[in-house]
Amino acid sequence: MKVTRKRINKKQSIQLFLPLSSQAYLSQFYRDKNATFSGRILPNLEKELKAMQDFFGLEVTGKLDSNTLETMKLPRCGVTDVARYGHFQGKPKWKQSVVTYRITEYTSQLSKREVDTTITKAFQLYSDVIALDFKQIYNGTADIMILFKAEYHGDFYPFDGPNGVLAHANAPGPEQGGDTHFDDDERWTLRSRDINLLLVAAHEFGHALGLEHSKDPLALMYPTYRYVNTNGYTLPRDDRIGVQALYGKCFL
């Protein structure tokens, strides 16, 4: 009996040798959800891998080298990195001068007062530089609804446990627009150890205001988590320019 061997093309080869976790990473953060593949079953994993390497300033090889793999393992935001501009497509923004927010579910790792104070500080980083104010409400539906919850939490993007996706947020808009979710499997703190809530909240509220991820490693909107000293922390230049392009400057 003659055995015929099917030839594996380059795209299939790349998929076969990429770990499932790496394929999932590329699918979540680097796949253009509006792209069509002309009837092809396999998306272009090599193209997505190169896009990821380019975004993070790595050597663009199209191969899963050690630097690329280590970057994929870093704690990060759950919002995609695929964008043509520093803003979401269509540049959505809040039209009103006061944006309301409500925290519906708190983490047990910090007191409610600590969470409230930290969330207020995160919003203040933006209100200090743009003509927009934020107000916390305690009942009803706010513009930005905030919760801490693990795994499946009411949307199509379940969290993945500790040290993976830390949080995610929607762009401005009706209904779920601006809503921000934090993974309660993370160890939230107000210090340098574990995951600092102020830094992650400020990053996610950038998305809730209309900012996309930045390629600048010093920017707050860089997709991976990095602790910086939060004493006297102000919005980095790249983020300030981006949010002021949407809302204008704040003149005190």
How far, in Å, CA of 158 to CA of 21, rounded? Answer: 15
For this structure, is 175 an active site residue? no
106 and 59 in one domain?
Answer: no
| Whole-number pLDDT of residue 41 | 36
What is the average pLDDT score of the chain? 87
Residue 36 lies in a domain: yes
Q: Tell me the average pLDDT across 139-143.
A: 96
Binding-site residues for Ca(2+), please? 143, 160-161, 177, 179, 183-184, 186
| Whole-number pLDDT of residue 36 | 42
Residue 78 lies in a domain: no
pLDDT band for position 33 (50/70/90)? Answer: low
Evaluate if residue 86 carries a pLDDT over 70: no
221: left (phi over 0), alpha (psi -120 to 50) or beta: alpha
Copy the structure tokens of residue 27.
């699918």
118 and 69 in one domain?
Answer: no
91: left (phi over 0), alpha (psi -120 to 50) or beta: left
CATH number for the domain spanning 114: value is 3.40.390.10
Number of structural domains, the chain? 2
Binding-site residues, please? 77, 143, 153, 155, 160-161, 168, 177, 179, 181, 183-184, 186, 203, 207, 213, 221
122 and 56 in one domain?
Answer: no
| Whole-number pLDDT of residue 91 | 78
Catalytic residue among 70, 151, 175, 204: 204
Lowest mean pLDDT among 10-24, 107-121, 229-243: 10-24
pLDDT band for position 180 (50/70/90)? Answer: very high
Residue 179 lies in a domain: yes
Evaluate if residue 67 carries a pLDDT over 80: yes
Q: Which long-range contacts (CB under 8 A, 24 or more apart) does 121-127 make?
A: 121/198, 122/198, 122/201, 122/202, 122/205, 123/205, 125/202, 125/220, 125/233, 125/234, 125/235, 126/202, 126/205, 126/206, 126/209, 126/235, 126/243, 127/250
The residue segments making up the domain with residue 65 are 10-73
Are the C-beta atoms of residues 246 and 91 closer than 8 Å to each other?
yes
The percentage of residues in the chain with a pLDDT greater than 90, rounded to a whole number, is: 69
Q: Tell me the average pLDDT across 184-213.
A: 97
Strand 180-183: give its sheet, edge to edge: 76-77, 165-169, 180-183, 144-149, 98-105, 133-136
Binding-site residues for Zn(2+), please? 77, 153, 155, 168, 181, 203, 207, 213, 221
CATH number for the domain spanning 18: value is 1.10.101
pLDDT band for position 161 (50/70/90)? Answer: confident
Phi, psi of 233, rounded to the nearest 5 degrees:
-65, 135
| Whole-number pLDDT of residue 173 | 87
pLDDT band for position 252 (50/70/90)? Answer: low
Q: Which residues of 127-149 are buried (b: 16+ CB within 10 A; e: fewer)?
A: bebbebebeeeeeeebbbbbbbb
Residue 41 lies in a domain: yes
